[in-house]
Amino acid sequence: MKIEQRALNIADLRQLAKGRLPRGFFEYIDRGSEDDDAIVSNRAAYGKYKLRPRVLKNVSTRSMGSELFGKPLAMPMVVAPTGAAGLMWHQGELALAKAAASAGIPFTLSTASLTSLERIAAQAPGRLWFQLYMWPDKSMSHQLVKRAQDAGFEALVVTVDTVVAPNRECNTRNGFTLPFSVNRRNALDLALHSRWLITVVLRYMLTGGLPRLENFPRELERSLTGGSASGSALPKNDSLSWDDFRDLRKIWQGPLMVKGILHPKDALAAAEHGADGIIVSNHGGRNLDSSIAPLLALPDIVDCVGSRLQVLMDGGIMRGSDLVKALALGARAVMVGRAPLWGVAAAGQAGAAHALSILAREALRVMGQCGCSTVAELDHEILWCESQALVPDRRARSISLQ
């Protein structure tokens, strides 16, 4: 049966991914850090807002078409960078990139991906963004940025919320740390998922061997099971500062974004240091477990820098109505991480494409139900919230009848 019939929504795709992946790999996507509080609050934030539909507004020609950095978008959505997507499906990163291209939206390749950025650029059509984890040794970051520039990537996304290693206890329990090592517990887990072993691991073995972190600087590049100096995915880099970001601005010519902003003062700092955009994000609840939900951080940040920067947000988008609420609160576009990743884990490129089309279809339906035909019409007037403080300008603004 086709994936479109097997999954009606993102939660269905998550269930299918759960059935297909070894538990450790599924939890690597699904879970967060410590007690998963941030994941729960990311989702709960959408529930705080209700929509106030308008009626009889002729919504027969609805469109989510919009624009970002001077180029058209079929919908205001971007596939977020997710490391190790290539373990969820053979060539998973390529599958995600192709799905994004056919949906008419950008794909962001993670530094921690298993496919080289050159290969993505050669084989995936569409808009490509590269996500950078800065290294403590500047020359390593700059070499990677040069590779992305030479390969023709359109935009650079610098993730700044991972300078201190997150406490992902569940990955440690499951043995999902780098370098990956097989123990009694995960060996059984892997053995019970023979379809995944054959279609992913065996295929890699037959076509060049186990995948590597292809975009790590040459000095650190290694296989997933190979040794590393620190035993963690990223070397210690807690000494990074805005000066390091400013240096990137000097060498990157295209749009430059900072990912992982939750405080208005950091949004201002990003603008001051030459960013073109920011992504309001708590890394999908995978890093600081007590962090504010990005949706709740968004209005203050939009107030602060909305006229200077393109403000994107991510975290917990599982329904089209979530997308509509984020846009109504001032996001220019959203990023989606787990939704397409579950799709790719369930059915490769077709699954990722299905995830994106589910969200698009749901959002278009909700726009119609709210009486909105274009993305530009989505603003705070369609939102209701028990706490008036969470709705920007609600008290101050007089609501017009248009």
* Residue 322 within binding range of ligand FMN, rule CB under 6 A: no
* Residue 343 within binding range of ligand FMN, rule CB under 6 A: no
Minimum distance, C-beta of residue 395 to ligand FMN, in the bound complex (Å): 31
Minimum distance, C-beta of residue 305 to ligand FMN, in the bound complex (Å): 19
What are the tokens at 102?
Answer: 């056919």
Q: Which is nearer to ligand FMN, 59 or 255 (CB)?
A: 255
Per annotation, catalytic residue among 193, 283, 354, 380: 283
* Residue 337 within binding range of ligand FMN, rule CB under 6 A: yes
CA–CA distances in Å: residue 234 to residues 30, 115, 228, 247, 346? 21, 17, 10, 20, 28
Minimum distance, C-beta of residue 304 to ligand FMN, in the bound complex (Å): 21
* Residue 83 within binding range of ligand FMN, rule CB under 6 A: yes
Minimum distance, C-beta of residue 218 to ligand FMN, in the bound complex (Å): 19
Report which of 333, 280, 324 is spatially closest to residue 72, judged by C-alpha positions.
333
What angle (nearest 5°) sits at the alpha carbon of residue 138, between those of residues 134 and 143?
85
Minimum distance, C-beta of residue 283 to ligand FMN, in the bound complex (Å): 5
* Residue 80 within binding range of ligand FMN, rule CB under 6 A: yes
* Residue 10 within binding range of ligand FMN, rule CB under 6 A: no
Q: Which is nearer to ligand FMN, 98 or 168 (CB)?
A: 168
Residues forming a β-bridge with 79: 107, 336
- Report the Cα 74 to chain-centroid distance in Å: 17
Q: Is 283 a catalytic residue?
A: yes
Pick one of 266, 289, 314, 322: the residue that binds ligand FMN (CB under 6 A): 314
Minimum distance, C-beta of residue 53 to ligand FMN, in the bound complex (Å): 26
Taking residues 156 to 195 in sequence order and writing x for each that binds ligand FMN by CB under 6 A, - otherwise, the string is ---x------------------------------------
Return d(Cα 127, Cα 373) in angstroms, integer.
25
Q: How many residues sit close enough to ligand FMN to count as binding (CB under 6 A)? A: 24
Q: Which is nearer to ligand FMN, 216 or 372 (CB)?
A: 216
Q: Which is nearer to ligand FMN, 42 or 349 (CB)?
A: 42
Taking residues 14 to 43 in sequence order and writing x for each that binds ligand FMN by CB under 6 A, - otherwise, the string is --------------xx--------------
- Report the Cα 56 to chain-centroid distance in Å: 36
Return d(Cα 374, Cα 46) in angstroms, integer.
21
Return d(Cα 370, Cα 52) in angstroms, integer.
7
**Which residues carry out catalysis?**
283
Residue numbers at the binding site for ligand FMN (CB under 6 A): 28-29, 80-83, 110, 112, 131, 159, 259, 281, 283-284, 286, 314-317, 335-338, 341
